[in-house]
């Protein structure tokens, strides 16, 4: 599932910069913004011990980091396996930064586990055991 991303223009990236302090996130941010502007992506959810599950994610593109994004994921092309959530663009772009990292490091399109736990409304145990 090859995807080619170009960096978004600096003026589009600059309004998101204050939300991401880590250098690796800032490095991936122009590509995450470019991906965000596309409004959709197809990928595969990789679950340990299982075959990958294909998905299509679509979202409404807005201009500001504080605007709300409505994101819908449909698995295996099955409308009965569709899930939606609303979140701030800055948070969603943060997840897209992880998608860009997955593309670069692992060679496939997938969201991070924390994205799915929020999508499915599952509370993850924290590292501190809380």
Summarised one tens digit per residue, pLDDT across range 12-43 is 999 999 999 999 999 999 999 999 999 999 99
Q: Is residue 25 part of a domain?
A: no
Whether 47 is covered by a domain: the verdict is: yes
89 located within any domain = yes
Question: How many distinct structural domains can be found in the chain?
Answer: 1
Query: What range does the domain containing 104 cover?
Result: 40-119
67 lies in some domain: yes
Please give the DSSP secondary-structure letter assigned to residue 39.
Answer: -
Query: What are all long-range contacts of 110-118, with beta carbons under 8 Å and residues at least 24 apart?
Result: 110/43, 110/44, 110/45, 110/46, 111/43, 111/45, 111/57, 116/45, 118/85, 118/87
pLDDT tens digits, one per residue of 41-74: 999 998 888 899 999 999 999 989 999 999 999 9
The rounded distance, in Å, linking the Cα atoms of 38 and 57 is 11
Q: Is residue 81 part of a domain?
A: yes
Question: Which two tokens mark 8?
Answer: 């978004």
Share of the chain above pLDDT 90, in %: 77
pLDDT score of 128 = 46
The answer to whether residue 113 sits within a structural domain is yes
Q: What is residue 122's predicted lDDT score, i.e. its pLDDT?
A: 77
pLDDT, tens digit (0-9, with 9 covering 90-100), for 96-112? 999 999 999 999 999 99
């Amino acid at each position: 599932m090859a995807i080619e991303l170009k960096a978004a223009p600096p003026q589009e990236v600059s309004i998101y910069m204050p939300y991401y302090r880590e250098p690796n996130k800032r490095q991936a941010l122009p590509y995450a913004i470019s991906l965000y502007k596309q409004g959709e992506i197809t990928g595969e959810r990789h679950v340990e011990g299982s075959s990958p599950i294909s998905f299509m994610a679509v979202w409404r593109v807005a201009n500001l980091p504080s605007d709300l994004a409505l994101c819908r994921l449909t698995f295996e092309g099955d409308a009965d396996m569709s899930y939606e959530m609303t979140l701030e663009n800055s948070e969603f772009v943060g997840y897209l930064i992880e998608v860009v990292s997955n593309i670069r490091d692992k060679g496939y399109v997938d969201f991070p586990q924390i994205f799915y736990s929020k999508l499915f409304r599952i509370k993850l145990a924290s590292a501190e055991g809380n």
